[in-house]
Structure 1
Amino acid sequence: MKTALILIDIQNDYFPNGKMELEGSVEASLQAQQMLTYFREQQLPVVHIQHISVRPGAAFFLPETEGVKIHSHVQPLADELMIQKHYPNSFRETCLLEYLQQKQITRLVLCGMMTHICVEATTRAAFDYGFECLVVHDACATRSLSFQSEMIPARQVHGAFLAALASTYANVLSVEEALLILKKPE
């Protein structure tokens, strides 16, 4: 089984002093860094996804700003693929599917931000394209949301979306659990 790491939107605007700070972004990025280190050591494919906002009125991930840049914890190397996107789903109007098919990838390890939007949309799309998905929950972060005047804490948003993904779309694991699976001989 050929496996690739997909790092979704781990960009400066999601970190302290960014335009859309997420809860736990620093901690999640350090966990994603562990996954990235493993994939680099094993010389496995790594794909960095960078969201660039082009819709009118966008408040973050604006082109040519510091906030749109990939965070230093997971900075891409020259030989790692970087895909720019404009929608939550990393497959929409990008070369991601074509790249994965060309490399004969069958399993994806997904880390990133925001759990409830881009990680969720990309994971569901990947599943629909036939990929086995491992979502690394402690290498993902999100934020609190409100619904009908009720504030829903980030931890609950994170848990609810991961629980939904785990029900059908992905094996949701910690970094430690994911590494154990990846290190098992096939």
Structure 2
Amino acid sequence: MSKQALILVDIQNDYFPTGKWPLEGVEAAADNAVRVLQACRRAGNLVVHIRHEAEADDAPFFVAGSVGAQLHEKVLNQGDEVVVVKHFINAFRETGLKALLDQQGVEELVIAGSMSHMCIDGITRAAVDYGYPTRVIHDACATRDLQFKGVTVPAVQVHAAFMAALEFGYAQVLSTADYLAAC
């Protein structure tokens, strides 16, 4: 069996209902991420938490040092679980993530978190470009409605479109139940 790492992306306070940038279905997604996290901890898999921090003090969310930028209490890192701080959509960009995965001999990735249309998409595509077989746990990811030229695209459609695109050419896209059944 390949050495696997779970990457939990941006499950941070600002994405929850009392935060600055709440996502649709974030509570259910976080609950599923917790189930995957618990299974990966039991299996002894490497767990990496990604935390986005804005570099500008006037950013709309994830302001460095704010409560909103902190990991949500449901998924706090434990023991030797690393927290990688990033400043870009792609968690590999200008971070030590790739070096950490290589140092630990990781051969495949499991990804969950937020936002489906941004950081989940970015890390998944980059991971596959680096040669990692990658699984995305779709119901452990969340997003929000988007606007395009006066049209509101509901979060459920944004999420579905991005998961469909990732599944088409980048990753295996699974539900939490299907991932756990295969563990």
TM band (smaller chain): over 0.9
State the Cα deviation string for residues 42-66 of structure 1 (Å, max 9, x = none). 1110000000000464111001111
More off after superposition, 57-66 vs 82-91 = 57-66
**Greater Cα offset, 8-17 or 38-47:** 38-47
What residue in structure 2 maps to residue 153 of structure 1? 154
Structure 2 match to 1:54: 55
**How large is the Cα RMSD of the aligned pairs?**
0.9
Distance 1:51 1:78 in 2: 21
2:14 corresponds to: 13
Length, aligned pairs only: 182
Please give the TM-score of this superposition, normalised by the length of structure 2. 0.97
**Structure 2 residue aligned with 1:171:** 172
One-letter identity of the residue aligned with 2:48:
V
Say if 2:88 is the partner of 1:84.
Answer: no
Q: Distance in 2 between matches of 1:152 and 1:44?
A: 36
Give me the whole-angstrom Cα distance separating, in 1, the residues matched to 2:150 and 2:55. Answer: 29
Distance 1:136 1:171 in 2: 9
- Pairwise CA distance, 1:17: 1.1
Distance in 1 separating the partners of 2:71 and 2:59? 18
**Aligned counterparts of 1:92 and 1:126: Cα–Cα separation in 2:** 11
Instruction: Specify the alignment match of 1:97 in structure 2.
Output: 98
The CA distance in 1 between the partners of 2:36 and 2:57, in whole Å, is: 35
SS of match in other structure, 1:135: strand
Cα distance in 2 for residues equivalent to 1:62 and 1:51: 9
Letter matched to residue 50 of structure 1: R
Query: Unmatched 5+ residue regions in structure 1?
Result: none
Could you say what secondary structure the match of 1:138 adopts? strand
- Matched residue type, 1:92: R
Instruction: Please identify runs of 4+ aligned residues in structure 1 that moved more than 3 A.
Output: none
Q: Displacement of 1:180 after TM fit? A: 2.4
